[in-house]
Structure 1
């Protein structure tokens, strides 16, 4: 297979990279054996790592140059990845009882991974799944008055993987503030990017660049985006005129939304030509999607 092609196995791996996994009997048993006796110690170790990350990151140029976010609000991804890196270093040479227990848990087949998804139907959130535990090291990134570290039984966490664009769109409006529109004016992008989003700052974004949902859509041969565009309530709702004009002038958008039959033909062509496996065709679509957001931000 050529260097510019993907395999279904690669797509599936990317689709599952941030997705929670089913908790089976083995994970419950391993969690009870290795993690349950060390919950308080694990929380204390994670708090030390979080404090160390805060001290190294909160005054960084990345934070100083972002006036829209006041640390730690909105930094759940950065914090979670930073603490994950510290955890991985600890796992190589664990020195505390909790880290040794976590090391043994993983060595015996326990699942410990970063996850991204829907938290309590209110937030997008990055966290960790450790066996049957939900572990959030960025619990204060929406409400800074909350404890930084939260550890809960997974069944009580209210955390769910995001598996369709309908839920994604609803949560985007609720969490980020703004308005979601079905992408029917840029049909060549619609198979991969079915959502247009006008954020709270009045900027237009080609949404759903998030890896988990993007690759899950590709894994299912664009069925998720097709279902969203054909079945969404008010799917023919037009963008406000200034955004429509912006897309027409800068990206060749259609004057009128593409109809259902033409849209089905676009999806059929994407499948017939194996678009999902062709990096040389997918990458330009991603580049255009990103460019829409950049150019819109520059003009607002």
Structure 2
């Protein structure tokens, strides 16, 4: 019997292509030095925290490090790429040498992102088959800054679709989520409009993972999410009015936006150029511009969302 075809990895997907090989290399090189590895990463956090807290003092009105798992993960990743073995000693030298030997022998270290325990979005790393979270204190600041455990015990799962993303956004961000029937040209790539608890509205999600999730599936995940009932007219009208001078072509009503968005998903699915890197880069640039306009909307009290059923 032939082995089942292994699906290509999406960017930051919490998965390895060859778990058996990575588990073997992890046992050989990393598990013998788990204590040193943890202390090394804690030392990195200690050197990076003053810089990061000065650069990102708050996020969503919360003080550093709350909500900043991405910023911390990226900073640690950058530091690991810059370190010279000669500048380390003690635990740092032992851990870094183990990481180098692990990598030289085919071990894979990946930055990953997903749904942690059904409670919130989280950025972390895979060191072989180890879950390595260098920003474990970004939801509860009193937690240990670093957590290392077998990936199978981490309960980090990949975001399955846009309904899954919406469910977690509602829970973690206390946000309202609507289908993007307002900007149907961009909706195949970013099919959600998210209204945060402070009133800010944004098109989401611009992560490489979520965009590739839909483009690699011929835009079916976006089509599925956009197929639900038209977004509430009061929300539609309020956001549309804020974008009248943006130069965008906007539908006259949510029902029209829904039809156009679904038609655009079908068109994109039939033409490979819509999934090209150049096209995706262009879309990301345009969405960033639109989101900049959306930030100008007055932050009115939250609008009750009665017309769309609770996600999952």
Q: Same fold (TM over 0.5)?
A: yes
Highest RCO, 1 vs 2 (Cα 8 Å, sep ≥ 6): 1
Match of 1:175 in 2: 172
User: Could you say if the C-alpha distance between residues 213 and 274 of structure 1 is closer, same or farther in structure 2, counting changes exceeding 3 Å?
Assistant: same
User: Under a length normalisation based on structure 1, what TM-score does the superposition of the two structures give?
Assistant: 0.84
Give aligned pairs, total: 282
User: Under a length normalisation based on structure 2, what TM-score does the superposition of the two structures give?
Assistant: 0.81
Q: Deviations over 1:158-197 (max 9, x none)?
A: 1112231111111111111111111223222221111111
Q: How does 1:1-300 map to 2 (within 5 A)?
A: 16-22=10-16, 24-60=19-55, 62-63=56-57, 68-90=61-83, 96-230=93-227, 235-239=228-232, 241-248=234-241, 249-250=243-244, 251=248, 252-258=250-256, 263-277=261-275, 282-300=280-298
Contact 1:221 1:276 in 2 (8 A): no
The structure in which a higher percent of residues are helix is 1
Extract unaligned runs of 5+ from structure 2.
Answer: 1-6, 299-312
User: Could you say if the C-alpha distance between residues 279 and 20 of structure 1 is closer, same or farther in structure 2, counting changes exceeding 3 Å?
Assistant: closer
Extract unaligned runs of 5+ from structure 1.
Answer: 1-11
CA-CA distance at 1:268 after TM superposition: 2.5
RMSD: 2.5
User: Could you say if the C-alpha distance between residues 261 and 185 of structure 1 is closer, same or farther in structure 2, counting changes exceeding 3 Å?
Assistant: closer
User: Could you say if the C-alpha distance between residues 243 and 288 of structure 1 is closer, same or farther in structure 2, counting changes exceeding 3 Å?
Assistant: farther
